[in-house]
Amino acid sequence: MFRFYQITDLHFYAAEEMHAEGAAWEYRAKYDQKCVAESGAILEAAIDKLLADRETDVVLISGDLVSDGEKEGHYALQKKLRRLKDCGKKVFVLTATHDICPEPKQYSKSTGETRAQGLTKEELLEVYWEFGPAQALSVHKESFSYVAQLAPGYRLLALNDDGVGWEPTGFHGYFESELAWLREQLEIGKQSGDVMFAMGHHPLLPPGPFYAMYSPHDVIGNHEEIATLLADAGVRFMFTGHTHMQNIASFDTPRGNRIFDINTASLIGYPSPIRKMTLTDETMTVETSHIETLDYDLGGKSYMEYSRDHFEYMLRDIFASAANDIAHFCEVSEGFGLPKEKAWKLRVPIRMLGKFLDRLTFRRAGKLLFCANQIAPEMASVRLCDFMIDVVRNLYGGDEPYAPGTPQFDSFMALYRRIDPILRRVKGLENLQSVIEGTLYDSGWPDNDAVLPVSEYHP
């Protein structure tokens, strides 16, 4: 039996060390999907929780260690990770795109948001060398990938997939030199007889049908090819981050080998998960726990209530401002990918749509679409925008619960089916129904607490 932890996407912002203050900082903290101002306190609470488990000494951290590549953040985080290490924990980290972001940020009252100093790839390797590479059996320095012995009989493939770097439409995966090194290490691992795990930042498998449709560049490049390579070499589990969502997916190769992608959400954003894995010969048990409180003013709420409300704030603000304050909507629109200038050009239809959605309940939508008799009574007075926020929160929290037969699924799909014939004519939306159904309900493996089979290996 072997136990270990995974946390990911720390996005730590060294607010104290960087003396972050002023209106620009307050705006950033309020409109970030993550609890960036609270990140230091969250990380300290997570470290306390990990240290409290004296029986489990391995901790995997799969990338996006700091907020946006701030040099001060990296060195402050190094000290925090040493706290784990000095108490006997074996810490294995990967860096990712946020760790070498080309525009690290700092904030002050006088100058607002300005560019901070970052680190090069080589400097990153130096800062985090002691957390994995120093103990490695092999290091691919060009990519900052390495292979480490977690314990006798257990071997970790820590695979950096920065690809071409920060660009959101860039390639995140493994180039030829890294692939050649990986194939060599897989063969050595097979010959050793060790159980092999993989850790990466970007997901190996799409965490849902919507992700493959709307974020195709946020999955490891050539992901089915890489999944096949790993699984056919005997790797049954890979641990990833990046999506900020809780998800567990599997892939079966033509040879019959199965690999699981255990994708974990950000430590500093709702639901702030800490994963604990227990491996036996037959099963991998995944348990998800959460931080309950931290040394920060939470306004009398539990941390989970606080982080959930923070997560929902921007979503609710978007709906409200589209209806009632279009200038504010244009200010915050870039936070969800709509440039301010474009939002302003579209302000009239956006405001009309916002006012319409602000009043739109399931009952009213059902009447407008001539399917009111298919709306469940308990859903009639629910606003569509409130329901959509609920669905997004479920995506990030995992275990999407609205299965066929529930009032939520049946009522929403009744509305959707009325407009599906129109949407099907739009290029790229032909399969939107299956995407929506998969967003409401995940029929696959449990995303938070699961007992996964260790499948038979077929050489």
Residue 333 has pLDDT above 90, yes or no: no
CA-to-CA distance for 447 and 246, rounded, in angstroms? 6
Say yes or no to pLDDT of 173 above 60: yes
Tell me the pLDDT tens digit for each residue of 129-141.
Answer: 999 999 999 999 9
Is residue 344 within 8 Å of 61, Cβ to Cβ?
no
Q: What is the pLDDT of residues 286-300, one digit of tens each?
A: 999 999 889 999 999
Helix 223-232 vs helix 176-192: crossing angle, to nearest 10: 20
Structure tokens, 230: 């790993």
Q: What gap in Å lies between CA 16 and CA 44, rounded to an integer? A: 14
CA dist., res. 60 & res. 58, Å (int)? 7
H or E element, residue 445: none
pTM: 0.92
DSSP state of 456: P
pLDDT tens-digit map of 390-422: 998 999 999 899 999 999 999 999 999 998 888
For the chain, state the CA radius of gyration.
23
Q: 416 is written with which tokens?
A: 């959707």
Q: Are the C-beta atoms of 284 and 454 separated by less than 8 Å?
A: yes
The domain ranges of the chain are 2-296, 302-358, 360-443
The correct answer on CATH 3.60.21.10 for the domain covering 2-296 is yes
Residues whose CB is less than 8 angstroms from the CB of residue 183 and which lie 6 or more positions away in sequence, other chains included:
229
Phi/psi of residue 220, each to 5°? -50, 130
User: What is the percentage of the chain residues whose pLDDT exceeds 70?
Assistant: 97
The pLDDT tens digits of the residues spanning 50-99 come to 999 999 999 999 999 999 999 999 999 999 999 999 999 999 999 999 99
pLDDT above 80 (res 166): no
Q: Where are the beta strands (DSSP E) in 111-203?
A: 112-115, 136-140, 145-151, 154-158, 195-199
202 pLDDT exceeds 60?
A: yes
- Residue 323 CB contacts under 8 Å (≥ 6 apart), including other chains: 351, 354, 355, 357, 358
Neighbours of 30 (CB within 10 A): 14
User: What tens digit of pLDDT does each residue of 221-266 get?
Assistant: 889 999 999 999 999 999 999 999 999 999 999 999 999 999 999 9
The mean pLDDT of 169-178, rounded to a whole number, is 84
Average pLDDT score over residue span 147-153: 96
Contact 198, 174 (CB under 8 A): no
Q: Residue 335 pLDDT > 80, yes or no?
A: no
Query: Which residue would you say has higher pLDDT here, 151 or 430?
Result: 151
In single-letter form, the type of residue at position 71 comes to: K
